[in-house]
């Protein structure tokens, strides 16, 4: 993470210490970062007022903070088991996905409702 985002870095470090919010429910999720699949399948989904949400699978977590009234926001992601530093990226909404080409994509669907275009993607590594 670059020094250009010190506030985002501090926020991300604070978020990493928090457990998944109460009220998480099962979902079908896809989280891809720079072409690498972190989550692809069942996960925990927790929504907050204003549209923010978090998807979690074990040590892997992605949170999207939505700009109210807009189709853009910021995504934070981490894989605490990998030892890699967490990351942050600006994202735009496209249906059930929030992302930025070649940077990050965070998607969450009701179980059984994943569109055909998002099936048969690489397994999480």
The pLDDT of residue 6 is 37
Q: Strand pairing partners for 54?
A: 46, 63
Residue 43 has pLDDT above 60, yes or no: yes
The pLDDT of residue 19 is 44
Instruction: Categorise residue 19: left if φ over 0, alpha if ψ from -120 to 50, beta otherwise.
Output: beta
* Lowest-pLDDT choice from 19-33, 73-87, 107-121: 19-33
The pLDDT of residue 55 is 97
Averaged pLDDT for residues 40-69: 94
Residue 121 has pLDDT above 80, yes or no: yes
Averaged pLDDT for residues 28-37: 92
Averaged pLDDT for residues 74-79: 94
The pLDDT of residue 123 is 84
> Which helix or strand (DSSP H or E) is residue 108 part of?
strand 104-109
In the structure, what pLDDT confidence band is assigned to residue 25 with cuts at 50, 70 and 90? very high
43 φ, ψ (degrees, to nearest 5): -155, 180
């Amino acid at each position: 993470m670059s020094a250009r985002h010190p506030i985002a870095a501090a926020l991300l470090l604070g978020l990493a210490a928090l457990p998944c919010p109460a009220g998480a429910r099962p979902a079908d999720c896809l989280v891809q970062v720079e072409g690498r699949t972190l989550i692809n399948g069942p996960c925990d989904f927790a929504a907050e007022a204003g549209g923010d949400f978090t998807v979690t699978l074990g040590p892997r977590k992605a949170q999207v903070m939505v700009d109210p009234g807009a189709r853009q926001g910021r995504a934070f992601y981490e894989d605490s088991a990998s030892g890699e530093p967490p990351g942050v990226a600006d994202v735009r909404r496209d249906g059930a996905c929030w992302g930025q080409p070649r940077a990050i994509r965070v998607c969450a669907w009701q179980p059984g409702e994943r569109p055909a275009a998002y099936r048969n993607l690489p397994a999480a590594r």
